[in-house]
Amino acid sequence: MSAQVRIVLIDPSHPGNIGSVARAMKNMGLSDLVLVRPRSFPHEQASALAAAAEDVLAAARIVNAVPEAIADCSLVAATTSRPRSNHWEFATPRDVAGRIVALAPTMRAALLFGSERYGLANEDLQYCNILVRIPANPDYCSLNLAMAVQLLAYEIFVAREAPHSIVQLDAPLASGAELEYFYGHLAEVLSDVRFEDRTGHLMERLRRLFNRTQLDQNELNILRGILSAIQESRP
């Protein structure tokens, strides 16, 4: 069995969509659902459209912010229809499914989906390792929330059924919570040494850099050790 997969819905506005997502998840063998600031949940429309997936709804967790939703996740991918950018690594659903099933069973991956009306906010992207674009008709590429979840869940299901190898790591990948401690430490040291942020987006760019590399726990400990040494060496 590959890594466990969590579906994270950010600011879902329609309770019926939450129910449809739960049904799509259960179709493909997924059960870990986290809702970030849902407008209406629990709700009878969610239960009605979940069909036989009421157990997924019953186990769903509600949190107030994205870091809470991904604190124990080692790989975070976000779906987006944004244009490609040199700042981000983009993948197809099939590509990201392959990366997920190659993770060790002890690891957890999260798939982030934005609100029905606005998608993901820029601040949500800073927690992601990779962005996922679902190939679709460029003249009409808007997908229903449950459709998008179904497509990614299907690719993960298919990838799990196919023969594959697990990537052997020297240490587990750093979790979302561990990375947040590192980013806080890094910002503190940059302030201590008065490193000039000429663009006003320094930490945002550094987060993208380290998120792309997917640091493991040993690598993260080395970096934090370097930061601590810098602090201790200052008068």
- Chunk the chain into consecutive blocks of 10 residues (it has 235) and report each block's average pLDDT, rounded to whole numbers: 85 96 96 96 95 94 97 94 68 93 91 91 91 88 90 95 65 90 94 89 91 90 94 85
Q: Show the tokens assigned to 137.
A: 């008709």
The sheet with strand 90-91 has its strands ordered as 61-63, 32-36, 4-10, 108-113, 75-79, 130-132, 90-91
Measure the CA–CA gap between 5 and 32, rounded to whole angstroms.
7
Per-residue pLDDT, 138: 82
CA–CA distances in Å: residue 233 to residues 80, 136, 174: 43, 54, 27
Question: pTM, whole model, 2 decimals?
Answer: 0.82
Domain edges within the chain: 4-161, 176-233
pLDDT digits (tens, 9 = 90+) for 132-152: 999 888 888 778 999 999 999
Any idea which architecture 176-233 has in CATH?
Orthogonal Bundle (1.10)
CATH superfamily membership of 4-161: SPOUT methyltransferase, trefoil knot domain (3.40.1280.10)
Per-residue pLDDT, 2: 58
Per-residue pLDDT, 84: 58
Q: Show the tokens assigned to 184.
A: 């806080």
Per-residue pLDDT, 1: 47
Per-residue pLDDT, 169: 64
In Å, the largest CA–CA distance within the chain is: 64
List all residues 6 or more positions away from 150 whose beta carbon is below 8 Å from its beta carbon: 24, 27, 28
Per-residue pLDDT, 110: 97
Per-residue pLDDT, 164: 57
Measure the CA–CA gap between 38 and 219, rounded to whole angstroms.
36
